[in-house]
Structure 1
Amino acid sequence: MTVVEHLEELRRLLIISIVSTFVMAVVCWFFSDAFLKILLEPVTGTGNKIIYIGVTEAVFTKIKLAFFLGFLASLPVTLWQFWGFIIPALRKVERVYFTFFVFTSFILFIGGIAFGFLVVFKMCVSFLMRYGGAQLIPMLTIGNYVSFTLNFLLPFGLIFEMPLASYFLARLGIISYRTMIKGRKFAILAAVIIASAVVASPDIFTVLLFASPIYLLYEISATVVRVTEWAMGLKKSGRTLNILAPIKRLMKRARDLMVPAK
């Protein structure tokens, strides 16, 4: 393909991605009340209510939420288009790694957002709503609350990509297990700084609650790097590490059971 043909294909990819996001946002708009109820549960569950102070605040907040959900719902389409654009230029082995990368990155991103909301976000909001005491009455607006929620959850989706990125960086020889062990103190500092920037709260408990999973992911990434280095060492020594062998044996056994004996 010529450069012009590649650019034309890239343009088609971008158009499909944008259109799919818009279409899914329209679909999510009809379910925005249900999703909004789930997002508000950490606040409404404590007996508090969310208000809006502008005429258009409620509707624009629902539009923002619909586009965020539309973006998440259209990610498989976007990643599929991206996969189809890149895969022809790769060799057979590279295609396996790239397919693994695309699929795993999507799972980790969605898993990070789910973990951020179901575990960390609910605990943070529940604690902060009680932090004011009986003398203060919370007056949360829907616009600020949804913006805070989305800004809180997106970093979790990105941070959960850390183990996957560490795997490929280790295979390229850019990072090593020894380097990650030496960088633990800097990882702790970075986790606290990121948590402080995202949470934007002077409360140390909330910051540490956000920073803890970030540092835990760093330790998981270090373990991934160590296992990757070990597997690469086996390959260099002439031995093989086939972690899919048990799965293949189970699949073969299942096929044998499904096919009647002659």
Structure 2
Amino acid sequence: MEARNNLVIFISEFRKSVRMLALAIALTTTTVFFMAPRLLEMVQHHLADKLYFFNVAGPFLAHVKLALFSSLFALMPWVMTVLWRSIGKPFGVKGGQLITFIFFTCLLFYCGTLFCYYVTLPFGIKFLLGFGSAELQPVISVGKFVNFTTLFILAFGVIFELPIFMVFLAKVGVCTRAFFERSRRYAMLLIAIVAALLTPTPDIVNMTLMGGPLYLLYEAGIIILMIMRIK
């Protein structure tokens, strides 16, 4: 019954802000769309060589997707504020604690996206394209390139928030530190499944590039709980 009440409170609180947030994302996406060619050129210069398209709408859809991702990236503090207000209200998390959770969640998200953009993606793309040869040249679709990079970066930003959610669950009494310590083997299995679902291509390299840091973040969450003396 308590879980049901908490869910009702969460949904009620979430609905108060989600319409304005959706409108802001739509307006920001529309605005950023006109800068999307420049953004695509910048990402392409950093991660790829030539890009191609195989249908008439390919470039347009790629620019729309890139604009949407950019708007989510820019508005992530607002997204996290809406999310944490909704999650925190049923558990009585407010004031300074709420601001702390919002701040560190945004910080970890941006750290994850930057780590992916500057470290993981260049390494992963270079490794995968390294299997090419004189007879086997890559022809990369602009649509698939945008899908690959944006989903991978967004997924990394989300998984980097794992420690803060572990702290939240322990702080409100949903899970204990001992539970996380006992559940390492199950965490590894779940991480493998999440990495397989979130990576744009289901190869072992991309799964490892995501699953490895995710498990390290799981261990970091346990260490943070120990430092904060949360049992």
Does the 8 Å contact 2:80/2:102 carry over to 1?
yes
Structure 1 residue 203 displacement after superposition: 4.3
1:108-136 Cα offsets, whole Å, 9 max, x none, are 22222222222111111111011233331
Give the direction of change, closer, same or farther, for the CA distance of 1:204–1:60 in structure 2 (3 Å limit): closer
Distance in 1, Cα, partners of 2:169 & 2:128: 38
Does the 8 Å contact 1:21/1:73 carry over to 2?
no
Structure 1 stretches of 4+ with a deviation exceeding 6 A read: 7-12, 81-91
Structure 1 residue 50 displacement after superposition: 0.8
- For normalisation by structure 1, the TM-score amounts to 0.72
Structure 1 residue 213 displacement after superposition: 0.6
1:39 to 30, 35, 43: 43
Distance in 1, Cα, partners of 2:209 & 2:19: 40
Corresponding residue pairs, total:
221
1:1-262 paired onto structure 2 within 5 Å? 13-44=17-48, 48-79=49-80, 94-199=94-199, 201=201, 203-228=203-228, 230=229
Give the direction of change, closer, same or farther, for the CA distance of 1:87–1:152 in structure 2 (3 Å limit): closer
Structure 1 residue 139 displacement after superposition: 1.1
Comparing 187-196 with 150-159, which one deviates more in the overlay? 187-196
1:192-245 Cα offsets, whole Å, 9 max, x none, are 3322333364643333222111111111111122223x2x58xxxxxxxxxxxx
Q: What is the DSSP-based 3-state SS (H/G/I as helix, E as strand, rest coil) of the residue aligned with 2:130?
A: helix
Distance in 1, Cα, partners of 2:78 & 2:120: 29
Determine the structure 2 residue equivalent to 1:255.
none
Q: Give the partner amino acid of 1:35.
A: L
Determine the structure 2 residue equivalent to 1:257.
none
Does the 8 Å contact 1:29/1:66 carry over to 2?
yes
1:161-186 Cα offsets, whole Å, 9 max, x none, are 11111111111233233322222222
Aligned-residue CA RMSD (Å): 3.1
Q: Give the partner amino acid of 1:60.
A: L
Percent identity of paired positions between Structure 1 and Structure 2? 27
Does the 8 Å contact 1:25/1:70 carry over to 2?
yes
Does the 8 Å contact 1:170/1:176 carry over to 2?
yes
Distance in 2, Cα, partners of 1:211 & 1:179: 21
Give the direction of change, closer, same or farther, for the CA distance of 1:179–1:9 in structure 2 (3 Å limit): closer
Structure 1 residue 76 displacement after superposition: 3.3
